Structure 1
């Protein structure tokens, strides 16, 4: 099901490659690979879900650092397609999460994202204003992740697509 959202929304987890890379590329961009992930039943969907990149060309560029040398502002871009699989039924969906973002990392563990989607977002129970789920958020939006993990998204223009529905054979669309 596709829903248009034009009001502030909260999200729980962003599943977008943010791991440090080992080698720099031209122009200061370096690979930022996404690792496969698993979440148990009830964490995002009503069933266990596995995510695995099938295309991962995400790169990052550190724009500024904190006084201790850790990344403060980082830009991310590149193709990312994640195969989302319901591990109970085997149903899967290839989610194109090839958005771009600039992420500001706070010293307190917070993050502020400026995004041009699509980006894959996981929401845990009680972790935001969107219901628990796994979403492909597409559009132009900002997201603040608090130090406790609460996500607030302001979708300026765009849509959310519930991937739990896409990989649940019992879901009606």
Structure 2
């Protein structure tokens, strides 16, 4: 699954079997009842993206979606009927391109992720598989980069601040280094 963490104020639930945080927040709520079981799987699509030079990498970075079969469902709702816990899975493959040189790599980010939305606006993402995470300049939790994480992953998303990698049992690749 793949989740792309967008800019600090815009969190996404775009995921595929690895984790690809895109920047949207919880998907629309099904307010037909908070006491029912998990919602039905629904299609979810990740949009192409661009990161400006100096924000994530020293060069502009573009992400084009090669394959997207992601699905999302709501597992729990809060008292207002908004999603409190969602799960995303499905194939997602992205072509990452250095906009200065044209060099590119394709990464599949299959996996499954669970996103828990907290009342203070923070989120906890945990999952197994692959995840693409953009760490922006100014994030106090880690150096900027476009990271492909693989394994068991846990992220904390802090509103207005950025993503914090809490746990990774696996490997990571910084695509800024790969594409430099």
Q: Does 1 or 2 have the higher relative contact order (CA < 8 Å, sep 6+)?
A: 1
- TM-score, normalised to structure 2, is 0.77
Counterpart of 2:9? none
User: Where does the alignment leave 5 or more consecutive residues of structure 1 unmatched?
Assistant: 1-10, 22-26, 169-173
The 8 Å contact of residues 5 and 21 in structure 2, kept in 1 or not, is answered as no
Counterpart of 1:16? 21
Q: Distance in 1 between matches of 2:110 and 2:140?
A: 23
1:40-79 alignment to 2 at 5 Å? Answer: 40-79=52-91
- Aligned structure 1 segments of 4 or more residues deviating by more than 6 angstroms: none
Q: Distance in 2 between matches of 1:147 and 1:115?
A: 20
Q: CA deviation at 1:157?
A: 1.2
User: Where does the alignment leave 5 or more consecutive residues of structure 2 unmatched?
Assistant: 7-11, 13-19, 29-38
Counterpart of 2:96? 84
1:92-103 alignment to 2 at 5 Å? Answer: 92-103=104-115
Q: Deviations over 1:7-58 (max 9, x none)?
A: xxxx96474357648xxxxx71111100011110011100001111101111
Q: Deviations over 1:100-158 (max 9, x none)?
A: 10000123221101111210000011314331100001110211111223322222411
Q: CA deviation at 1:61?
A: 0.9
